[in-house]
Structure 1
Amino acid sequence: MPRGLSCLASPEVRAGRYETPSASELHRLMWTKKGSSNHLDEVYPRIYIGDMYAAKDKRTLQCHHISHVLNAAHGKFNVNTGPSFYRDTSITYHGVEAFDMPSFDLSPFFYPAANFMKNALSSPTGKVFVHCAMGLSRSSTLVLAYLMIHEHMTLAGAIKAVSANRNISPNEGFLEQLRNLDKKLNCY
Protein backbone atom coordinates (compact mmCIF):
# COMPACT_ATOMS: atom_id res chain seq x y z
CA MET A 1 0.00 0.00 0.00
CA PRO A 2 1.38 3.42 -0.85
CA ARG A 3 2.45 5.26 2.31
CA GLY A 4 0.42 8.36 1.44
CA LEU A 5 -2.87 6.47 1.53
CA SER A 6 -2.45 5.48 5.14
CA CYS A 7 -2.28 9.17 6.04
CA LEU A 8 -5.92 9.50 5.00
CA ALA A 9 -6.82 7.57 8.13
CA SER A 10 -7.83 10.44 10.37
CA PRO A 11 -7.71 14.22 10.65
CA GLU A 12 -4.99 13.90 13.33
CA VAL A 13 -2.77 11.92 10.97
CA ARG A 14 -3.39 14.31 8.05
CA ALA A 15 -2.59 17.32 10.23
CA GLY A 16 0.59 15.65 11.47
CA ARG A 17 -0.71 15.66 15.04
CA TYR A 18 -1.08 11.92 15.48
CA GLU A 19 1.35 10.08 17.71
CA THR A 20 1.07 6.40 18.56
CA PRO A 21 -0.27 6.24 22.12
CA SER A 22 1.77 4.61 24.86
CA ALA A 23 0.92 1.06 25.93
CA SER A 24 -0.65 2.39 29.14
CA GLU A 25 -2.89 4.78 27.18
CA LEU A 26 -3.96 1.90 24.91
CA HIS A 27 -4.74 -0.27 27.93
CA ARG A 28 -6.89 2.53 29.29
CA LEU A 29 -8.83 2.59 25.98
CA MET A 30 -9.47 -1.16 26.24
CA TRP A 31 -10.42 -1.10 29.92
CA THR A 32 -12.93 1.75 29.68
CA LYS A 33 -15.12 0.11 27.07
CA LYS A 34 -18.14 -2.03 27.84
CA GLY A 35 -17.63 -4.79 25.31
CA SER A 36 -18.84 -8.33 25.89
CA SER A 37 -17.07 -11.64 26.30
CA ASN A 38 -19.40 -14.01 24.47
CA HIS A 39 -18.14 -17.02 22.58
CA LEU A 40 -18.59 -14.97 19.40
CA ASP A 41 -19.09 -11.20 18.91
CA GLU A 42 -19.37 -9.05 15.81
CA VAL A 43 -16.70 -6.38 16.34
CA TYR A 44 -16.85 -4.63 12.98
CA PRO A 45 -19.27 -5.15 10.09
CA ARG A 46 -18.95 -8.82 9.06
CA ILE A 47 -15.91 -9.43 11.32
CA TYR A 48 -16.37 -11.60 14.40
CA ILE A 49 -13.96 -12.43 17.22
CA GLY A 50 -14.45 -15.44 19.45
CA ASP A 51 -13.04 -18.38 21.30
CA MET A 52 -12.31 -22.05 20.67
CA TYR A 53 -15.84 -23.08 21.68
CA ALA A 54 -17.37 -21.02 18.88
CA ALA A 55 -14.68 -22.26 16.48
CA LYS A 56 -15.70 -25.85 17.12
CA ASP A 57 -19.43 -25.14 16.90
CA LYS A 58 -20.00 -25.43 13.16
CA ARG A 59 -23.74 -25.00 13.58
CA THR A 60 -23.33 -21.61 15.27
CA LEU A 61 -20.87 -20.51 12.59
CA GLN A 62 -23.33 -21.52 9.89
CA CYS A 63 -26.19 -19.73 11.70
CA HIS A 64 -24.08 -16.55 11.60
CA HIS A 65 -23.30 -17.20 7.89
CA ILE A 66 -19.55 -17.28 8.54
CA SER A 67 -17.75 -17.88 5.25
CA HIS A 68 -14.14 -17.68 6.49
CA VAL A 69 -12.36 -18.75 9.67
CA LEU A 70 -9.00 -17.35 10.72
CA ASN A 71 -7.57 -19.47 13.55
CA ALA A 72 -4.91 -17.46 15.40
CA ALA A 73 -4.19 -20.51 17.57
CA HIS A 74 -3.73 -23.11 14.83
CA GLY A 75 -1.83 -26.29 15.53
CA LYS A 76 -1.71 -29.53 17.43
CA PHE A 77 -0.97 -27.86 20.77
CA ASN A 78 -3.48 -25.04 20.33
CA VAL A 79 -7.00 -25.09 18.85
CA ASN A 80 -6.64 -28.06 16.54
CA THR A 81 -9.11 -27.29 13.78
CA GLY A 82 -8.16 -26.88 10.15
CA PRO A 83 -9.51 -27.26 6.62
CA SER A 84 -10.46 -30.90 7.31
CA PHE A 85 -12.47 -29.89 10.41
CA TYR A 86 -14.63 -27.60 8.24
CA ARG A 87 -14.73 -29.91 5.18
CA ASP A 88 -18.48 -30.55 5.55
CA THR A 89 -19.16 -26.78 5.42
CA SER A 90 -18.46 -24.08 2.84
CA ILE A 91 -16.06 -22.33 5.24
CA THR A 92 -12.65 -21.24 3.94
CA TYR A 93 -9.94 -21.74 6.57
CA HIS A 94 -6.64 -20.01 7.32
CA GLY A 95 -4.46 -20.97 10.29
CA VAL A 96 -1.77 -19.03 12.11
CA GLU A 97 0.28 -21.08 14.54
CA ALA A 98 0.81 -18.45 17.22
CA PHE A 99 1.40 -18.63 20.94
CA ASP A 100 0.00 -16.12 23.41
CA MET A 101 3.32 -15.12 24.91
CA PRO A 102 4.78 -11.58 24.90
CA SER A 103 7.98 -12.98 23.36
CA PHE A 104 6.14 -14.47 20.34
CA ASP A 105 6.50 -12.37 17.18
CA LEU A 106 3.04 -12.22 15.63
CA SER A 107 3.95 -9.35 13.29
CA PRO A 108 5.04 -11.56 10.34
CA PHE A 109 1.42 -12.76 10.22
CA PHE A 110 -0.17 -9.28 10.19
CA TYR A 111 -0.26 -8.85 6.40
CA PRO A 112 -1.12 -12.46 5.42
CA ALA A 113 -3.96 -12.53 7.99
CA ALA A 114 -5.18 -9.06 6.98
CA ASN A 115 -5.16 -10.08 3.32
CA PHE A 116 -7.12 -13.25 4.13
CA MET A 117 -9.71 -11.12 5.92
CA LYS A 118 -9.85 -8.57 3.09
CA ASN A 119 -10.39 -11.38 0.60
CA ALA A 120 -13.18 -12.81 2.77
CA LEU A 121 -14.88 -9.43 2.92
CA SER A 122 -14.48 -8.75 -0.80
CA SER A 123 -17.61 -10.84 -1.35
CA PRO A 124 -20.80 -9.00 -0.36
CA THR A 125 -21.85 -12.03 1.71
CA GLY A 126 -18.42 -12.77 3.17
CA LYS A 127 -18.12 -12.91 6.95
CA VAL A 128 -14.94 -13.76 8.80
CA PHE A 129 -14.58 -15.30 12.23
CA VAL A 130 -11.20 -14.74 13.89
CA HIS A 131 -10.49 -16.80 16.96
CA CYS A 132 -7.84 -18.07 19.32
CA ALA A 133 -8.36 -19.98 22.56
CA MET A 134 -10.13 -17.24 24.55
CA GLY A 135 -10.78 -14.60 21.89
CA LEU A 136 -8.83 -11.94 23.79
CA SER A 137 -5.22 -11.62 22.65
CA ARG A 138 -4.08 -13.33 19.43
CA SER A 139 -7.37 -12.97 17.57
CA SER A 140 -7.91 -9.35 18.60
CA THR A 141 -4.33 -8.50 17.62
CA LEU A 142 -4.91 -9.82 14.08
CA VAL A 143 -8.24 -7.99 13.76
CA LEU A 144 -6.64 -4.74 14.96
CA ALA A 145 -3.84 -5.20 12.40
CA TYR A 146 -6.45 -5.74 9.65
CA LEU A 147 -8.30 -2.55 10.61
CA MET A 148 -5.04 -0.62 10.55
CA ILE A 149 -3.79 -2.09 7.27
CA HIS A 150 -6.95 -2.26 5.16
CA GLU A 151 -9.42 0.09 6.87
CA HIS A 152 -6.72 2.76 7.41
CA MET A 153 -7.47 3.18 11.11
CA THR A 154 -4.96 4.27 13.68
CA LEU A 155 -4.25 1.78 16.43
CA ALA A 156 -6.26 3.87 18.90
CA GLY A 157 -9.19 4.04 16.46
CA ALA A 158 -9.08 0.30 15.85
CA ILE A 159 -9.03 -0.44 19.59
CA LYS A 160 -12.01 1.88 20.14
CA ALA A 161 -13.96 0.21 17.34
CA VAL A 162 -13.32 -3.37 18.48
CA SER A 163 -13.50 -2.87 22.23
CA ALA A 164 -16.89 -1.19 21.92
CA ASN A 165 -18.23 -4.64 20.99
CA ARG A 166 -15.89 -7.07 22.75
CA ASN A 167 -13.46 -7.11 25.64
CA ILE A 168 -9.98 -7.50 24.17
CA SER A 169 -6.54 -7.75 25.72
CA PRO A 170 -3.54 -8.19 23.40
CA ASN A 171 -0.55 -9.24 25.49
CA GLU A 172 2.26 -6.70 26.06
CA GLY A 173 4.42 -8.05 23.23
CA PHE A 174 1.55 -8.01 20.71
CA LEU A 175 0.58 -4.50 21.79
CA GLU A 176 4.13 -3.32 21.15
CA GLN A 177 4.11 -5.00 17.72
CA LEU A 178 0.84 -3.18 16.93
CA ARG A 179 2.37 0.11 18.11
CA ASN A 180 5.27 -0.47 15.70
CA LEU A 181 2.82 -1.15 12.86
CA ASP A 182 0.93 2.02 13.77
CA LYS A 183 4.12 4.07 13.58
CA LYS A 184 5.02 2.53 10.22
CA LEU A 185 1.59 3.09 8.69
CA ASN A 186 1.09 6.61 9.92
CA CYS A 187 3.97 8.31 8.15
CA TYR A 188 6.56 8.93 10.80
Structure 2
Amino acid sequence: MGEPCPGTEDLCGMDLPVLKRLLRDDGARCLLLDCRSFLAFSAGHIRGAVNARCNSIVRRRAKGAALSLEQVLPGDEDARRRLRSGLYSAVVLYDERTADADAVRRDSTVTLVRQALCTEASDTEIYLLQGGYERFFTECPELCLRTKSLPSLSSLDSSCSSCRTPHRDQGGPVEILPFLYLGSALHASRKEVLDATGISALLNVSADCPCHFQGDYQYKCIPVEDNHKEDISSWFLEAIQFIDSVRASSGRVLVHCQAGISRSATICLAYLMKRKRVRLDEAFEFVRRRRSIISPNFGFMGQLLQFESQLLATTSCAAAAAAVSPLLGPKSSSSSSASTAAGSATAPPASPFIFSFPVSVVNSAYLHHHSPLTTSPGC
Protein backbone atom coordinates (compact mmCIF):
# COMPACT_ATOMS: atom_id res chain seq x y z
CA MET A 1 0.00 0.00 0.00
CA GLY A 2 1.15 3.56 -0.70
CA GLU A 3 1.78 6.31 1.81
CA PRO A 4 -1.09 8.60 2.81
CA CYS A 5 -1.56 11.52 0.40
CA PRO A 6 -0.37 14.79 1.93
CA GLY A 7 -3.33 16.69 0.51
CA THR A 8 -4.97 17.32 -2.83
CA GLU A 9 -2.09 18.99 -4.65
CA ASP A 10 -1.93 16.27 -7.32
CA LEU A 11 -5.65 15.44 -7.39
CA CYS A 12 -6.90 15.48 -10.97
CA GLY A 13 -10.20 17.06 -11.90
CA MET A 14 -12.78 15.39 -14.13
CA ASP A 15 -15.36 17.38 -16.01
CA LEU A 16 -18.93 16.32 -16.54
CA PRO A 17 -18.74 15.10 -20.18
CA VAL A 18 -15.78 12.84 -19.34
CA LEU A 19 -17.66 11.33 -16.38
CA LYS A 20 -20.71 10.68 -18.54
CA ARG A 21 -18.58 8.82 -21.08
CA LEU A 22 -16.84 6.86 -18.34
CA LEU A 23 -20.15 5.79 -16.78
CA ARG A 24 -21.49 4.82 -20.20
CA ASP A 25 -18.43 2.88 -21.41
CA ASP A 26 -16.93 1.45 -18.23
CA GLY A 27 -19.47 2.09 -15.47
CA ALA A 28 -18.88 -1.23 -13.70
CA ARG A 29 -15.25 -0.32 -13.01
CA CYS A 30 -15.89 3.26 -11.97
CA LEU A 31 -16.72 3.99 -8.33
CA LEU A 32 -18.51 7.25 -7.51
CA LEU A 33 -17.98 8.41 -3.92
CA ASP A 34 -20.38 11.07 -2.65
CA CYS A 35 -18.46 12.98 0.04
CA ARG A 36 -21.46 14.87 1.42
CA SER A 37 -23.44 14.23 4.59
CA PHE A 38 -25.83 11.31 4.91
CA LEU A 39 -28.79 13.71 4.80
CA ALA A 40 -27.56 15.43 1.62
CA PHE A 41 -26.84 12.07 -0.01
CA SER A 42 -30.27 10.76 0.95
CA ALA A 43 -31.99 13.82 -0.53
CA GLY A 44 -30.34 13.22 -3.89
CA HIS A 45 -27.20 11.73 -5.44
CA ILE A 46 -25.73 10.48 -8.71
CA ARG A 47 -27.03 7.04 -9.64
CA GLY A 48 -24.74 4.29 -8.37
CA ALA A 49 -22.81 6.54 -5.99
CA VAL A 50 -21.74 5.35 -2.54
CA ASN A 51 -21.86 7.72 0.43
CA ALA A 52 -18.40 8.33 1.94
CA ARG A 53 -18.45 10.41 5.12
CA CYS A 54 -16.37 11.30 8.15
CA ASN A 55 -18.32 12.51 11.16
CA SER A 56 -16.74 14.64 13.85
CA ILE A 57 -16.15 11.73 16.24
CA VAL A 58 -14.28 9.70 13.62
CA ARG A 59 -12.16 12.76 12.78
CA ARG A 60 -11.26 13.36 16.42
CA ARG A 61 -10.35 9.73 17.03
CA ALA A 62 -8.10 9.70 13.95
CA LYS A 63 -5.93 12.45 15.55
CA GLY A 64 -4.54 13.52 12.20
CA ALA A 65 -3.78 10.00 10.95
CA ALA A 66 -5.19 8.63 7.70
CA LEU A 67 -8.60 7.05 8.13
CA SER A 68 -9.35 3.47 7.14
CA LEU A 69 -11.79 2.42 4.45
CA GLU A 70 -14.02 1.03 7.22
CA GLN A 71 -14.26 4.52 8.66
CA VAL A 72 -15.05 6.39 5.44
CA LEU A 73 -17.14 3.63 3.81
CA PRO A 74 -18.81 2.00 6.83
CA GLY A 75 -21.92 0.85 5.02
CA ASP A 76 -20.50 -0.77 1.88
CA GLU A 77 -18.38 -3.86 2.41
CA ASP A 78 -18.47 -4.77 -1.29
CA ALA A 79 -16.98 -1.41 -2.33
CA ARG A 80 -14.19 -1.79 0.24
CA ARG A 81 -13.39 -5.29 -1.00
CA ARG A 82 -13.28 -4.22 -4.64
CA LEU A 83 -11.11 -1.22 -3.83
CA ARG A 84 -8.56 -3.35 -2.00
CA SER A 85 -8.59 -5.90 -4.84
CA GLY A 86 -7.92 -3.24 -7.47
CA LEU A 87 -11.16 -3.95 -9.34
CA TYR A 88 -11.94 -0.28 -10.00
CA SER A 89 -10.14 1.53 -12.80
CA ALA A 90 -11.18 4.93 -11.44
CA VAL A 91 -12.69 6.47 -8.32
CA VAL A 92 -14.48 9.80 -8.73
CA LEU A 93 -15.06 11.91 -5.63
CA TYR A 94 -17.59 14.71 -5.44
CA ASP A 95 -18.99 17.12 -2.89
CA GLU A 96 -21.73 19.73 -3.21
CA ARG A 97 -20.16 22.27 -5.56
CA THR A 98 -16.33 22.48 -5.45
CA ALA A 99 -15.24 23.78 -8.85
CA ASP A 100 -11.78 22.19 -9.05
CA ALA A 101 -9.16 20.34 -7.02
CA ASP A 102 -7.29 23.52 -6.06
CA ALA A 103 -10.33 24.68 -4.07
CA VAL A 104 -10.55 21.52 -1.91
CA ARG A 105 -9.77 22.24 1.75
CA ARG A 106 -7.22 20.09 3.54
CA ASP A 107 -9.69 19.28 6.32
CA SER A 108 -12.57 18.42 3.97
CA THR A 109 -14.20 15.03 3.63
CA VAL A 110 -12.87 14.83 0.06
CA THR A 111 -9.30 15.11 1.35
CA LEU A 112 -9.80 12.56 4.13
CA VAL A 113 -11.46 10.07 1.79
CA ARG A 114 -8.67 10.48 -0.76
CA GLN A 115 -6.05 9.84 1.94
CA ALA A 116 -7.82 6.61 2.91
CA LEU A 117 -7.90 5.54 -0.74
CA CYS A 118 -4.21 6.32 -1.21
CA THR A 119 -3.40 4.20 1.81
CA GLU A 120 -5.48 1.13 1.00
CA ALA A 121 -6.21 1.36 -2.75
CA SER A 122 -3.05 3.02 -4.00
CA ASP A 123 -3.19 1.58 -7.54
CA THR A 124 -6.55 3.17 -8.34
CA GLU A 125 -6.78 6.48 -10.19
CA ILE A 126 -8.63 9.11 -8.14
CA TYR A 127 -10.44 12.14 -9.56
CA LEU A 128 -12.59 15.03 -8.35
CA LEU A 129 -15.79 15.79 -10.22
CA GLN A 130 -15.58 19.48 -11.11
CA GLY A 131 -18.61 21.45 -9.96
CA GLY A 132 -19.78 18.66 -7.67
CA TYR A 133 -23.30 17.30 -7.36
CA GLU A 134 -24.92 20.70 -7.85
CA ARG A 135 -23.59 21.11 -11.38
CA PHE A 136 -24.11 17.45 -12.27
CA PHE A 137 -27.75 17.54 -11.20
CA THR A 138 -28.34 20.80 -13.08
CA GLU A 139 -27.01 19.36 -16.34
CA CYS A 140 -27.88 15.65 -15.97
CA PRO A 141 -30.92 15.29 -13.69
CA GLU A 142 -31.85 12.02 -15.43
CA LEU A 143 -28.66 10.44 -14.03
CA CYS A 144 -29.50 11.37 -10.45
CA LEU A 145 -31.74 9.81 -7.82
CA ARG A 146 -33.91 12.18 -5.78
CA THR A 147 -36.01 11.42 -2.72
CA LYS A 148 -39.54 10.67 -3.80
CA SER A 149 -42.63 11.46 -1.76
CA LEU A 150 -45.48 8.99 -1.61
CA PRO A 151 -48.92 10.24 -2.65
CA SER A 152 -51.32 11.04 0.16
CA LEU A 153 -53.99 8.42 0.64
CA SER A 154 -56.84 10.80 1.38
CA SER A 155 -59.36 7.99 1.41
CA LEU A 156 -58.02 6.69 4.72
CA ASP A 157 -60.00 7.48 7.84
CA SER A 158 -59.79 6.62 11.52
CA SER A 159 -62.76 4.25 11.58
CA CYS A 160 -60.59 1.37 12.78
CA SER A 161 -61.41 1.54 16.48
CA SER A 162 -58.57 -0.78 17.52
CA CYS A 163 -55.97 1.38 15.77
CA ARG A 164 -56.68 4.77 17.37
CA THR A 165 -54.53 6.53 14.79
CA PRO A 166 -54.44 10.33 15.28
CA HIS A 167 -56.43 12.35 12.76
CA ARG A 168 -53.28 14.12 11.60
CA ASP A 169 -51.81 10.77 10.50
CA GLN A 170 -54.05 9.91 7.58
CA GLY A 171 -51.43 9.49 4.83
CA GLY A 172 -49.84 6.22 3.78
CA PRO A 173 -46.68 4.58 5.12
CA VAL A 174 -43.51 6.53 4.39
CA GLU A 175 -40.44 5.13 2.66
CA ILE A 176 -37.37 5.27 4.89
CA LEU A 177 -35.27 3.12 2.56
CA PRO A 178 -36.40 1.35 -0.64
CA PHE A 179 -37.15 -1.78 1.41
CA LEU A 180 -38.08 -0.17 4.74
CA TYR A 181 -41.35 1.66 5.49
CA LEU A 182 -42.66 3.30 8.65
CA GLY A 183 -46.32 3.65 9.52
CA SER A 184 -49.13 3.07 11.99
CA ALA A 185 -51.55 0.32 12.94
CA LEU A 186 -54.12 1.87 10.63
CA HIS A 187 -51.80 1.40 7.65
CA ALA A 188 -51.12 -2.18 8.75
CA SER A 189 -54.88 -2.86 8.83
CA ARG A 190 -55.49 -1.77 5.21
CA LYS A 191 -54.60 -4.50 2.74
CA GLU A 192 -55.05 -2.20 -0.22
CA VAL A 193 -52.46 0.17 1.26
CA LEU A 194 -50.00 -2.65 1.88
CA ASP A 195 -50.41 -4.02 -1.63
CA ALA A 196 -50.14 -0.58 -3.24
CA THR A 197 -46.88 0.03 -1.38
CA GLY A 198 -45.50 -3.41 -2.23
CA ILE A 199 -45.22 -4.53 1.39
CA SER A 200 -44.34 -8.22 1.82
CA ALA A 201 -43.63 -8.29 5.57
CA LEU A 202 -44.71 -6.43 8.71
CA LEU A 203 -42.75 -5.78 11.89
CA ASN A 204 -45.38 -5.18 14.59
CA VAL A 205 -43.74 -3.26 17.46
CA SER A 206 -46.57 -3.50 19.99
CA ALA A 207 -48.15 -5.86 22.47
CA ASP A 208 -51.75 -5.33 21.37
CA CYS A 209 -51.98 -4.39 17.67
CA PRO A 210 -53.44 -7.34 15.74
CA CYS A 211 -51.75 -8.99 12.78
CA HIS A 212 -54.65 -8.81 10.33
CA PHE A 213 -53.40 -10.77 7.32
CA GLN A 214 -51.18 -13.58 8.53
CA GLY A 215 -51.87 -15.73 5.51
CA ASP A 216 -50.80 -13.00 3.10
CA TYR A 217 -47.68 -11.43 4.63
CA GLN A 218 -44.72 -12.39 6.75
CA TYR A 219 -45.06 -11.12 10.32
CA LYS A 220 -42.78 -10.57 13.27
CA CYS A 221 -43.97 -9.19 16.61
CA ILE A 222 -41.97 -7.25 19.17
CA PRO A 223 -44.27 -7.04 22.22
CA VAL A 224 -43.23 -3.78 23.89
CA GLU A 225 -45.31 -0.97 25.39
CA ASP A 226 -44.69 2.71 24.77
CA ASN A 227 -43.30 3.22 28.25
CA HIS A 228 -40.03 4.92 29.16
CA LYS A 229 -39.17 1.95 31.42
CA GLU A 230 -39.46 -0.59 28.58
CA ASP A 231 -36.22 -2.16 27.34
CA ILE A 232 -36.74 -1.84 23.58
CA SER A 233 -33.00 -2.03 22.95
CA SER A 234 -33.05 -5.75 23.76
CA TRP A 235 -35.01 -6.22 20.53
CA PHE A 236 -32.72 -4.21 18.25
CA LEU A 237 -30.81 -7.30 17.11
CA GLU A 238 -33.87 -9.32 16.10
CA ALA A 239 -35.54 -6.33 14.44
CA ILE A 240 -32.45 -5.49 12.37
CA GLN A 241 -31.99 -9.09 11.32
CA PHE A 242 -35.65 -9.40 10.36
CA ILE A 243 -35.45 -6.27 8.20
CA ASP A 244 -32.24 -7.59 6.61
CA SER A 245 -33.92 -10.91 5.82
CA VAL A 246 -36.80 -9.14 4.07
CA ARG A 247 -34.34 -7.03 2.11
CA ALA A 248 -32.34 -10.13 1.12
CA SER A 249 -35.50 -11.65 -0.35
CA SER A 250 -36.16 -8.46 -2.36
CA GLY A 251 -39.19 -7.66 -0.21
CA ARG A 252 -40.41 -4.59 1.64
CA VAL A 253 -41.15 -4.40 5.33
CA LEU A 254 -43.55 -2.06 7.13
CA VAL A 255 -42.46 -1.27 10.69
CA HIS A 256 -45.45 -0.09 12.72
CA CYS A 257 -46.72 0.31 16.25
CA GLN A 258 -50.00 1.94 17.27
CA ALA A 259 -49.51 5.45 15.89
CA GLY A 260 -46.10 5.15 14.22
CA ILE A 261 -44.60 7.77 16.51
CA SER A 262 -42.45 6.19 19.23
CA ARG A 263 -41.83 2.42 19.16
CA SER A 264 -41.68 1.79 15.41
CA ALA A 265 -39.71 5.01 14.87
CA THR A 266 -37.17 3.80 17.44
CA ILE A 267 -36.65 0.56 15.52
CA CYS A 268 -36.18 2.45 12.23
CA LEU A 269 -33.65 4.78 13.88
CA ALA A 270 -31.70 1.83 15.29
CA TYR A 271 -31.65 0.20 11.86
CA LEU A 272 -30.28 3.33 10.16
CA MET A 273 -27.66 3.81 12.85
CA LYS A 274 -26.45 0.22 12.55
CA ARG A 275 -26.60 -0.32 8.80
CA LYS A 276 -25.78 3.21 7.59
CA ARG A 277 -23.35 3.96 10.44
CA VAL A 278 -24.88 7.37 11.08
CA ARG A 279 -25.25 9.21 14.34
CA LEU A 280 -28.59 9.48 16.10
CA ASP A 281 -29.08 13.15 15.22
CA GLU A 282 -28.61 12.39 11.50
CA ALA A 283 -30.88 9.36 11.60
CA PHE A 284 -33.52 11.29 13.55
CA GLU A 285 -33.55 14.18 11.08
CA PHE A 286 -33.60 11.76 8.14
CA VAL A 287 -36.71 9.96 9.46
CA ARG A 288 -38.36 13.16 10.72
CA ARG A 289 -38.22 14.66 7.22
CA ARG A 290 -40.26 11.70 6.00
CA ARG A 291 -42.61 11.39 8.97
CA SER A 292 -42.69 14.64 10.89
CA ILE A 293 -44.58 13.35 13.92
CA ILE A 294 -42.00 10.81 15.11
CA SER A 295 -41.16 11.23 18.80
CA PRO A 296 -39.59 8.28 20.66
CA ASN A 297 -40.19 8.50 24.38
CA PHE A 298 -37.43 9.64 26.72
CA GLY A 299 -36.36 6.12 27.71
CA PHE A 300 -36.10 4.98 24.09
CA MET A 301 -33.99 8.04 23.21
CA GLY A 302 -31.62 7.18 26.03
CA GLN A 303 -31.24 3.64 24.73
CA LEU A 304 -30.64 4.95 21.19
CA LEU A 305 -27.95 7.29 22.51
CA GLN A 306 -26.20 4.38 24.19
CA PHE A 307 -26.57 2.34 21.00
CA GLU A 308 -24.94 5.19 19.10
CA SER A 309 -21.99 5.27 21.47
CA GLN A 310 -21.46 1.52 21.10
CA LEU A 311 -21.69 1.63 17.30
CA LEU A 312 -19.31 4.57 16.96
CA ALA A 313 -16.82 2.79 19.17
CA THR A 314 -16.71 -0.12 16.73
CA THR A 315 -15.59 2.20 13.90
CA SER A 316 -12.50 3.41 15.75
CA CYS A 317 -10.40 0.71 14.09
CA ALA A 318 -10.80 -1.62 11.11
CA ALA A 319 -10.58 -4.77 13.19
CA ALA A 320 -13.48 -3.76 15.40
CA ALA A 321 -15.59 -2.79 12.40
CA ALA A 322 -14.97 -6.10 10.65
CA ALA A 323 -15.64 -8.28 13.69
CA VAL A 324 -19.06 -9.38 14.95
CA SER A 325 -20.17 -6.67 17.32
CA PRO A 326 -20.56 -7.74 20.96
CA LEU A 327 -23.63 -5.52 20.92
CA LEU A 328 -25.33 -7.18 17.95
CA GLY A 329 -24.09 -10.74 17.95
CA PRO A 330 -25.61 -13.74 16.19
CA LYS A 331 -29.29 -14.31 16.59
CA SER A 332 -30.35 -17.44 18.42
CA SER A 333 -32.55 -19.86 16.52
CA SER A 334 -34.83 -20.33 19.49
CA SER A 335 -35.72 -16.66 19.76
CA SER A 336 -36.17 -16.46 16.01
CA SER A 337 -38.76 -19.20 15.80
CA ALA A 338 -40.65 -18.10 18.88
CA SER A 339 -40.92 -14.45 17.92
CA THR A 340 -42.34 -14.91 14.44
CA ALA A 341 -45.79 -15.91 15.67
CA ALA A 342 -48.34 -13.11 15.78
CA GLY A 343 -48.98 -11.79 19.27
CA SER A 344 -46.10 -13.85 20.63
CA ALA A 345 -45.64 -13.68 24.36
CA THR A 346 -41.93 -14.49 24.10
CA ALA A 347 -39.92 -12.86 26.85
CA PRO A 348 -37.46 -10.26 25.53
CA PRO A 349 -33.84 -11.37 25.29
CA ALA A 350 -31.38 -10.04 27.82
CA SER A 351 -30.40 -6.50 26.87
CA PRO A 352 -26.75 -5.76 26.05
CA PHE A 353 -27.33 -2.16 27.21
CA ILE A 354 -27.00 -0.61 30.63
CA PHE A 355 -29.13 2.52 30.60
CA SER A 356 -27.66 5.11 32.96
CA PHE A 357 -27.87 8.38 31.05
CA PRO A 358 -28.49 11.55 33.03
CA VAL A 359 -31.34 13.78 31.88
CA SER A 360 -28.92 16.38 30.49
CA VAL A 361 -27.56 13.98 27.86
CA VAL A 362 -30.73 13.88 25.78
CA ASN A 363 -31.16 16.72 23.30
CA SER A 364 -34.47 18.39 24.02
CA ALA A 365 -35.15 18.63 20.28
CA TYR A 366 -35.85 14.89 20.28
CA LEU A 367 -38.40 14.93 23.08
CA HIS A 368 -42.15 15.02 23.04
CA HIS A 369 -42.91 18.66 23.73
CA HIS A 370 -43.28 19.48 20.04
CA SER A 371 -46.39 17.34 19.65
CA PRO A 372 -49.47 17.03 21.82
CA LEU A 373 -49.97 13.52 20.42
CA THR A 374 -47.04 12.23 22.42
CA THR A 375 -48.82 12.76 25.71
CA SER A 376 -51.36 10.16 24.70
CA PRO A 377 -50.89 6.43 25.29
CA GLY A 378 -50.24 3.96 22.53
CA CYS A 379 -47.70 5.72 20.36
Q: What TM bracket, shorter-length normalisation?
A: 0.7 to 0.9
Contact 2:172 2:193 in 1 (8 A): no
**What amino acid maps onto 2:214 in structure 1?**
R
Alpha-carbon offset, residue 9 of structure 1: 6.5
Give the structure-1-normalised TM-score.
0.76
Matched with 2:304 is 178
Structure 1 counterpart of 2:210, one-letter code: N
Residue 11 of structure 1 and its aligned partner are, at CA, apart by 3.1
Q: Which residue in 2 is equivalent to 1:140?
A: 265
The yes-or-no answer on 1:111 pairing with 2:237 is: yes
Determine which structure has greater relative contact order: mean sequence separation of CA pairs < 8 Å that are 6+ residues apart, divided by chain length: 1
Task: Please tell me whether residue 157 in structure 1 is matched to residue 282 in structure 2.
Answer: yes
Amino acid at match of 1:80: P
- Consecutive unaligned residues of structure 2, counting only runs of 5 or more, are 1-51, 62-167, 317-379
- What's the TM-score once normalised by structure 2's chain length? 0.39
- Name the SS for the 1:133 alignment partner: coil
Is residue 184 of structure 2 the alignment partner of residue 51 of structure 1? Answer: yes
Residue aligning to 1:88 = 215
Query: For residue 183 of structure 2, what is the amino acid of its counterpart?
Result: G
Structure 2 CA distance for partners of 1:39 and 1:133, relative to 1, 3 Å: farther
> What amino acid does structure 2 have at the position aligned with 1:11?
N
What displacement does 1:176 show?
0.4
Matched, 1:69 2:202: yes
Which one of 161, 164, 173 corresponds to residue 40 of structure 1?
173
After superposition, what is the alpha-carbon deviation per residue over 1:36-86, rounded to whole angstroms, capped at 9, x for unaligned?
94342112322111111111112210111101100001x3xx2022xxx32
Letter in 2 for 1:137: S
CA distance in 1, matches of 2:57, 2:243: 25
CA contact (8 A) 2:174 2:182 kept: yes
Q: Is the 8 A contact 1:10 1:154 kept in 2?
A: no
Tell me, what secondary structure is at the counterpart of 2:254?
Answer: strand
CA distance in 1, matches of 2:233, 2:215: 32
Whether 2:262 is the aligned partner of 1:129: answer no
* Matched pairs, number: 155
Q: CA-atom RMSD, angstroms? A: 1.9
Larger Rg: 2
User: Structure 1 CA distance, aligned partners of 2:225 and 2:176?
Assistant: 22
Structure 1: runs of 5+ lacking an equivalent = 1-7, 18-35
**Cα distance change of structure 1 residues 128 and 182 upon mapping to structure 2, 3 Å threshold:** same
